[in-house]
Amino acid sequence: MNGVVDGLPLIDHHCHGVVRDDLSRAGFEAMLTEADASGPLHGSLFDTQIGMGARAICAPLLELERFAAADDYLARRADLGWDEVTRRMLAGTGIAHYLVDTGFLADALTTPRELAAYTGARASEIVRLETVAEEVLARSEPVGFAAAVRVALHERAVTAVGFKSVAAYRVGLDLDPERPSDAEVDAAAVEVLRNGTAARIAHPTLTRFLIWAALDFGLPLQFHVAYGDSDVDLARCDPLLLTPFLRASSGLGVPVMLLHNYPFQRSAGYLAQVFDHVFVDVGLTLHNVGVRADAVLAELLELAPFGSVLFSSDGFGLPEIYAVNTTLFRRALTAFLDDGIAREYWSTADAERVAVMICSGNAERAYRLGAS
Amino acid sequence: MNGVVDGLPLIDHHCHGVVRDDLSRAGFEAMLTEADASGPLHGSLFDTQIGMGARAICAPLLELERFAAADDYLARRADLGWDEVTRRMLAGTGIAHYLVDTGFLADALTTPRELAAYTGARASEIVRLETVAEEVLARSEPVGFAAAVRVALHERAVTAVGFKSVAAYRVGLDLDPERPSDAEVDAAAVEVLRNGTAARIAHPTLTRFLIWAALDFGLPLQFHVAYGDSDVDLARCDPLLLTPFLRASSGLGVPVMLLHNYPFQRSAGYLAQVFDHVFVDVGLTLHNVGVRADAVLAELLELAPFGSVLFSSDGFGLPEIYAVNTTLFRRALTAFLDDGIAREYWSTADAERVAVMICSGNAERAYRLGAS
Amino acid sequence: MNGVVDGLPLIDHHCHGVVRDDLSRAGFEAMLTEADASGPLHGSLFDTQIGMGARAICAPLLELERFAAADDYLARRADLGWDEVTRRMLAGTGIAHYLVDTGFLADALTTPRELAAYTGARASEIVRLETVAEEVLARSEPVGFAAAVRVALHERAVTAVGFKSVAAYRVGLDLDPERPSDAEVDAAAVEVLRNGTAARIAHPTLTRFLIWAALDFGLPLQFHVAYGDSDVDLARCDPLLLTPFLRASSGLGVPVMLLHNYPFQRSAGYLAQVFDHVFVDVGLTLHNVGVRADAVLAELLELAPFGSVLFSSDGFGLPEIYAVNTTLFRRALTAFLDDGIAREYWSTADAERVAVMICSGNAERAYRLGAS
């Protein structure tokens, strides 16, 4: 597979814009991992897998020595400015198409179009369901909320290529698999308004409603699964908790995308095998686990059919994440496929075909992206 | 360990017959993995670890090139016919004794005797508890159900070498560890008859009853654990959920076999260490994870005493599964033992002794198989 | 990293004394693993990873051949006597400072001072909360129990460097994160006295009380997490169950140490990343998984910041555990760091700095150990 994967274009089916500003050391470290910030007990977050990755992979892109010290890296970064740094970080990623989640901190980040423009790539939008519902609730009465959300989703579905749920962050993944009635939904909307929690909806009925409302449009539906920051309760985010919902939605032919999944990537692979509509990735995980990316991706590929595995970087805020994630992803996929060739378990031709599927083919099919 | 494991006979303590018929491509793919069928979203199930394994390991057994295309493989398979294909697939497995679960789709599959006859091996029977109970309930009154089941199990225990529970599929493994009274059991039988669910018993009281009734015979009791098809709810099948039951049954001296266990093989190994009556395998897992078999088996062998680990193929339907599973098992066990030798952690003599234990010695002791 | 880690002093932040007596084969095997004893079904516990480790690593320390037979090993051990064997086992561990949990079977084991004296190391004490509470309850009235425990902890905190909770063994880790009132605590004390369970406190309110009372002293608080003997219910000991408590205690700046963690070491690493006050190790796990120590430690180091990872042996009873655990820890840490160097993911200088952090620096900072 010598270099084959390195030459393949990627469809990044889950990512975000980068910060349109220069960053202090504290600001940079706060965006490196899922920790809120460096702390007095652990010390600098540069002493993590992703911190090492930035110094190893990104420093040379700024014409520094590999392994440049953190302060030297940040000084050079400040000299060049965020725009030039972004240009350099994205230049070599090989991402041909960004599917951008625009539902979180959009004002501080580059738009999908701006992000793609750095490399002449395509950009499409993924609509975050909770953000739409919060916008609707902020401007309208709870009576008729269900209907109003459907209208809003319909408007967004004209240009978007998929939806995303952050149920994991709001109520966990042990969801009742039933679709709620509009009356239940409207009553729940009254409840969250009364509780003063309408700005951050975390109500099981509304979560379920959004998911089923999204499925009606037939667009792929993404779920944040497991690994995230300290707001998420990982014990309630095992992808296996989605089993009843996946069973209930299995006859619709609408793709459901399980993002990240760590440390439950094997369970995600299982779900992808037994449910034809389930697609999986390890997204955010790869740049955070650094040298262990090979091991983690290989675990996903134990049970998941090769036709159900996707690439995503979950690039967010720092363009360095795009550079580190794509580098690690290509290395890990190459290592996995080379291992099978060395064991005479598959041919080089099959390995190349599988590589194209995982880098772009599966996403093209599931999101019906076609040619630009 | 150069070739040592390859030469050892295996006792396959959990397996099934193969289909007595030729198969279409759709029929073949439906039996390859735990998915119901190939689907429009994922594509062909040949693009999985087991699909690759069939083309890599089985094609040469049909005098095709390694990595023959799926259609060429199936055409050659049809030319030879299922009986000759089965003969070729089983010829090199080295299975000396099959312990066959006869409780599922028995009419469509070869009998234990037929299966073993292909290679002059021994065959014994494992009796599936739920099947016995369903037969009893179909022909008798619910009053006296408990007693009638005990009579039926007694008849089967004369020739069987063990029992099997599919509690995982029916009610999950978070079982109340107490043995129910006969009155409770008969009442539960009335309930399932009334509910019209008697043909597929999924009642916690009846599940517990069957388990304790089986233990009374002193024969090893197998549990399906975790990995299976989409009917199983994996979140309720972590082997750790059996802890209260294992504690309750630990004084009886009756072996309890935990089958498959993926992705919880490390937890299964833990249970095997702390409970002397617990035996473990990774069964079905190995052919499904393909090139990752080494990694998965090694995880089981982290905590499990070497005296508590068994071999099973979970061969079912397709004889190819026997060929792929035994090949991967021998490779994985060899890799594990060679690793310890290379690290000077155990001697070659110890490694060879452990290999014999895992391939056949532990099963002989636990199932009291003796010589034929 | 050729030999660098081998030369670094270790702070063993969780360990126990060794048995002050010679041991029969049965007595020795009973202390090797987390099983109660060798059993009729599994056979000798020498046929485990740790059993192999004793013969591989410890036999030469008694001037026997590597891989000496178990009986020869035990005969030589008896000839030398427990004191001389202990001296030899500890001589090469490189442990510079033992933080000894004195709350379990203290009468049968060497004291911290005795343990450290074998090699001229330092010793400090970790106070087990439940033991203190049980002592208070044995000698005083339940009215005023909360206040009496605080006084007792205050006395112990004068010389101790940390506290330890065995909540995992008593009530599981799915703790209500709230601090109970003194009235609730005293009422719970009345209840356990009435129930006759005061000698082994297993009451959720008392467990929570002890944890919060300990945090008030600002000393690091250790939790036994997951892997242990058959008394523990591993399904209730996933470290993720501590998430609500960790969120509640995250603003205090008091270190919380999660010990062992197997098979949930990846989840522990996640908690260490998102909570600055969480430190993690794999303690007991390493000598029990033997040749797999590299794989298990590497999983902990996927998400855990390098500033949050500690070393502990959980040496207990058998001095062999110290020898095997430290050998495996040094090998595993070396393998992990060398892998990153080989991948050009960090520099040798960074690897050496991280090695010092994990071997001793992080523990020095978290426990404020300073120089002796």
Res B17: pLDDT: 98
The position carrying tokens 């009274």 is B181
Q: Residues near C122 by Cβ (< 8 Å), separated by ≥ 6?
A: C96, C97, C98, C116, C372
Q: In whole numbers, what is the pLDDT of chain C averaged over residues?
A: 96
Give tens-digit pLDDT for B79-133.
Answer: 999 999 999 999 999 999 999 999 998 899 999 999 999 999 999 999 999 999 9
pLDDT at C136 over 90: yes
* All chains having 3 or more CB pairs closer than 8 angstroms to chain C: A, B
For residue C20, what pLDDT band results from cuts at 50, 70 and 90? very high
Q: In whole numbers, what is the pLDDT of chain B averaged over residues?
A: 96
Which one, of B100, B95, B101, B114, lies nearest residue B11 by Cα?
B95
Which residue type occupies B357? M
Counting one residue from chain A and one from chain C, the pairs whose CB atoms sit within 8 A come to: 104
User: C370 to chain B nearest CA, in Å?
Assistant: 37
Q: Dihedrals φ, ψ of B315, to 5°?
A: -50, 130
Q: What is the DSSP string of C153-199?
A: HHHHHTT-SEEEE-HHHHT-S----SPPPHHHHHHHHHHHHHHT-TT
> Which spans in chain C are helix H?
25-32, 49-53, 70-80, 82-91, 112-117, 129-139, 145-157, 167-170, 182-195, 204-215, 243-249, 265-274, 285-289, 293-303, 319-342, 348-356, 362-367
The position carrying tokens 């599929």 is B169
Give tens-digit pLDDT for C51-97.
Answer: 999 999 999 999 999 999 999 999 999 999 999 999 999 999 999 99
User: B265 to chain C nearest CA, in Å?
Assistant: 10
State how far the Cα of B241 lies from the Cα of B117, in Å rounded to an integer.
39
Res C300: pLDDT: 98
- Provide the token pair at B37: 């069928």
Tell me how long chain A is: 372
Tell me how long chain B is: 372
Q: Which residues in chain C are closer than 8 Å to A49, comparing Cβ atoms?
A: 301-303
* All chains having 3 or more CB pairs closer than 8 angstroms to chain A: B, C
Give the residue, A198 or C214, on which the prediction is more confident.
C214
State how far the Cα of B94 lies from the Cα of B326, in Å rounded to an integer.
8
Give tens-digit pLDDT for B260-298.
Answer: 999 999 999 999 999 999 999 999 999 999 999 999 999
The rounded percent of chain C whose pLDDT value lies above 70 is 99
Q: Which residues in chain A are closer than 8 Å to C247, comparing Cβ atoms?
A: 230
With beta carbons less than 8 A apart as the criterion, state whether A219 and A162 touch.
yes
Which one, of A310, A31, A267, lies nearest residue A162 by Cα?
A310
Mean pLDDT of C198-203: 92
User: B306 to chain C nearest CA, in Å?
Assistant: 6
pLDDT at C274 over 80: yes
Q: Is the ipTM of this complex over 0.90?
A: yes
For residue B189, what pLDDT band results from cuts at 50, 70 and 90? very high
Mean pLDDT of C25-45: 96
Query: Is the whole-model pTM more than 0.95?
Result: yes
Sheet holding B122-128, edge to edge: B10-15, B95-101, B122-128, B162-165, B221-225, B256-260, B278-280
Q: Which residues in chain C are closer than 8 Å to A73, comparing Cβ atoms?
A: none
Q: Which residues in chain B are closer than 8 Å to C48, comparing Cβ atoms?
A: 273, 305-306
Which one, of C78, C75, C59, C76, lies nearest residue C67 by Cα?
C59
The position carrying tokens 């009419």 is B107
- Bond prior to C40 in cis (omega within 30° of 0): no
Contact: C56, B255; criterion CB under 8 Å = no
pLDDT at C372 over 80: no
Mean pLDDT of C244-256: 97
Q: Using CA coordinates, name the residue in chain C closest to B220.
A: C41
With beta carbons less than 8 A apart as the criterion, state whether B52 and A345 touch.
yes
Mean pLDDT of C107-117: 96
pLDDT at B372 over 60: no
Give tens-digit pLDDT for A332-372.
Answer: 999 999 999 999 999 999 999 999 999 999 999 999 998 54
Q: Which of C34, C53, C67 sits opposite B273 (nearest CB)?
A: C34
Mean pLDDT of C309-323: 98
The rounded percent of chain C whose pLDDT value lies above 90 is 95
State how far the Cα of B117 lies from the Cα of B114, in Å rounded to an integer.
5
Q: Using CA coordinates, name the residue in chain C closest to A265.
A: C266
With beta carbons less than 8 A apart as the criterion, state whether A357 and A311 touch.
no
With beta carbons less than 8 A apart as the criterion, state whether A266 and A295 touch.
no
Res A2: pLDDT: 84
Compute the C-alpha angle C361/C365/C367, nearest 5°: 115
Res C142: pLDDT: 80
pLDDT at C106 over 90: no
Which one, of C307, C232, C221, lies nearest residue C264 by Cα?
C232
Q: Which residues in chain A are closer than 8 Å to B44, comparing Cβ atoms?
A: 307
CA B164 to chain CA centroid, nearest Å: 9
Query: Counting Cβ atoms within 10 Å, is residue A2 exposed (0-12), middle (13-18) or buried (19+)?
Result: exposed
Mutation for testing the C interface, residue in A42, A282, A286 having most C CBs under 10 Å: A42
Those residues of chain B whose CB sits closer than 8 Å to some CB in chain A are 33-37, 39-45, 47-49, 52-53, 55-56, 66-67, 227, 229-230, 233-235, 262-263, 288-292, 295-296
* All chains having 3 or more CB pairs closer than 8 angstroms to chain B: A, C
Q: What is the DSSP string of C277-313?
A: TEEE--TTHHHHHGGGHHHHHHHHHHHS-GGGB----
Q: Using CA coordinates, name the residue in chain B closest to A309.
A: B42
Lowest mean pLDDT among B139-143, B217-221, C262-266: B139-143
pLDDT at C371 over 80: no
For residue B371, what pLDDT band results from cuts at 50, 70 and 90? low
Which residue type occupies B313? S
Res C11: pLDDT: 98
For chain B, the distance separating the N- and C-terminal CA atoms, rounded to the nearest angstrom, is: 28
- Provide the token pair at C6: 């081998």
Give tens-digit pLDDT for A151-194.
Answer: 999 999 999 999 999 999 999 999 999 999 999 999 999 999 99
Which one, of B343, C354, B108, B250, lies nearest residue A290 by Cα?
C354
With beta carbons less than 8 A apart as the criterion, state whether C80 and C59 touch.
no
Mutation for testing the C interface, residue in A34, A38, A41 having most C CBs under 10 Å: A41
Give tens-digit pLDDT for A304-338.
Answer: 999 999 999 999 999 999 999 999 999 999 999 99
Mutation for testing the C interface, residue in B225, B279, B346, B347 having most C CBs under 10 Å: B346
Res B143: pLDDT: 84
Mean pLDDT of B62-69: 98
For residue B2, what pLDDT band results from cuts at 50, 70 and 90? confident
Res C36: pLDDT: 93
Res B153: pLDDT: 98
C30 C-beta neighbours (distance < 10 Å), count: 17
Mean pLDDT of C286-311: 98
pLDDT at A140 over 90: no
Which one, of B230, B235, B351, lies nearest residue B301 by Cα?
B351
Res A371: pLDDT: 59
